[in-house]
């Protein structure tokens, strides 16, 4: 197994084992880890369209908010149970991405980025005017007394998103996305239906994002447009992906872990007024030094630590 594959398997195993932690953690750590799982899932989702396909979406938060409101409406107005409402939210988010994708994904570069940003801003304003969604006053969801429930659901979404990314990366569909990222015209010459592949990638990205949004809505018990369409979520998705390594399988999760750890450390220090400034400076410093993210260095380190070579050296030393 290659170094990158070992790293992916190792991270998935660690995440799976972390499902055993909640009974042994206090409420604050459960909250911190649940938020980490959510942000990692959002970054993994953004990576499919921004990292693999090369289309930097500044509007993926649209699908987070859409998933949140679809779930809230289904649970409040239609009295659906959470799992049914969450599935509904996933379908709505994916369908919206497919609908928007056909015209929007014809744009490229900064035109695409600006268009997606405009959609996010416009969607927030649109939802705030709709009576079924509580207009600007928001919506309230029922309370789930099992606080660990959201930890496990967010963890499940993250594991599924990583496994799905690993599957896509090794499939013909994944190769098509990378070909589009490298040279869309050349990809078309090779017979790749770029329009269909891009829309599919964005729809899958939106489905994961919508699932996270639906779970967040139930977890938070209250949502309003400024909360679930907050552009800061989109900024964090991009930063985490670039930090870990865009176009890699687990780079976004690694970036999310590092960014979350830095944020928690700075938050625990007596520099609260400068928290954002210091965090921003650290991010800029890391991005300048590591333009390809951390993944090449992590996989390189694993490659250097080759067990076969280590055994050979041990045998030689015995002779």
Query: For residue 88, what is the domain's CATH number?
Result: 1.10.3470
How many separate domains does the chain show?
A: 1
The pLDDT of residue 305: 43
Question: Which residue's structure tokens are 């800061």?
Answer: 232
| Structural domain containing residue 23 | 3-318
pLDDT digits (tens, 9 = 90+) for 268-308: 665 556 667 777 777 787 778 877 888 877 776 555 444 45
70 exposed, middle or buried (CB, 10 Å; 0-12, 13-18, 19+)?
buried
φ and ψ of 29, to 5 deg: -70, -35
Closest CA to 162 of 19, 2, 287, 42: 42
The pLDDT of residue 3: 58
Residues 206, 93: contact at Cβ < 8 Å? yes
CA distances from 272 to 240, 277, 282 (A): 22, 10, 15
Please, which contacts does 296-301 make with residues 24 or more away whose CB atoms are closer than 8 Å?
296/245, 298/7, 298/254, 299/2, 299/3, 299/4, 299/7, 300/3, 301/3
The pLDDT of residue 293: 85
Residues 112, 105: contact at Cβ < 8 Å? yes
Element holding 277 (H helix, E strand): helix 275-289
Please give the Cα distance from 191 to 62 (Å, whole number).
Answer: 31
Please give the Cα distance from 100 to 310 (Å, whole number).
Answer: 53
Residue spans of the chain under pLDDT 70: 1-4, 267-275, 300-319
Please give the Cα distance from 239 to 15 (Å, whole number).
Answer: 22
Closest CA to 44 of 120, 170, 158, 199: 158
Q: Kindly tell me the sign of the dihedral angle through the C-alpha atoms of 103, 238, 249, 84.
A: negative
The pLDDT of residue 261: 87
Ranges of beta strands (E only) in the chain are: 139-140, 222-223
Both tokens assigned to 261: 């750890």
CA distances from 71 to 40, 67, 251, 304 (A): 21, 6, 29, 47
Question: Nearest 10 degrees: CA dihedral of 306, 258, 252, 250?
Answer: 30
Residues 55, 112: contact at Cβ < 8 Å? yes
The DSSP secondary structure of 6-45, one letter per residue, reads: HHHHHHHHHHHHGGG-GGGS-HHHHHHHHHHHHHHHHHHH
52 exposed, middle or buried (CB, 10 Å; 0-12, 13-18, 19+)?
buried
């Amino acid at each position: 197994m290659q170094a990158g594959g070992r790293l992916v398997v190792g991270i998935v195993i660690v995440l799976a084992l972390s499902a055993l932690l909640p009974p042994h953690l206090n409420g604050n750590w459960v909250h911190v880890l649940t938020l980490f799982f959510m942000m990692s899932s959002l970054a993994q989702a953004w990576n499919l369209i921004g990292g693999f396909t090369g289309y930097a979406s500044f509007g993926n938060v649209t699908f987070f908010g859409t998933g949140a409101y679809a779930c809230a409406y289904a649970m409040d107005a239609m009295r659906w149970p959470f799992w049914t409402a969450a599935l509904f939210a996933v379908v709505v988010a994916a369908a919206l991405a497919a609908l928007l994708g056909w015209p929007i994904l014809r744009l490229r570069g900064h035109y695409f980025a600006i268009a997606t940003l405009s959609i996010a801003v416009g969607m927030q304003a649109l939802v705030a005017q709709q009576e079924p969604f509580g207009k600007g006053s928001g919506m309230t969801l029922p309370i789930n007394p099992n606080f660990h429930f959201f930890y496990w659901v967010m963890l499940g979404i993250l594991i599924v998103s990583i496994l799905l990314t690993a599957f896509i990366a090794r499939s013909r569909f994944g190769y098509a996305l990378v070909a589009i990222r490298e040279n869309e015209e050349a990809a078309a010459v090779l017979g790749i239906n770029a329009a269909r592949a891009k829309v599919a990638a964005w729809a899958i990205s939106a489905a994961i994002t919508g699932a996270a949004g639906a779970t967040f809505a139930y977890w938070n018990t209250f949502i309003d447009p400024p909360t679930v369409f907050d552009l800061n979520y989109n900024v964090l998705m991009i930063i985490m992906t670039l930090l870990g390594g865009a176009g890699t399988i687990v780079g976004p999760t690694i970036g999310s872990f590092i960014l979350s750890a830095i944020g928690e450390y700075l938050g625990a220090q007596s520099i609260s007024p400068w928290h954002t400034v210091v965090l921003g400076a650290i991010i800029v410093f890391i991005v300048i030094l590591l333009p390809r993210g951390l993944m090449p260095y992590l996989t390189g380190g694993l490659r250097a630590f080759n067990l076969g070579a280590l055994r050979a050296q041990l045998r030689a030393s015995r002779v």
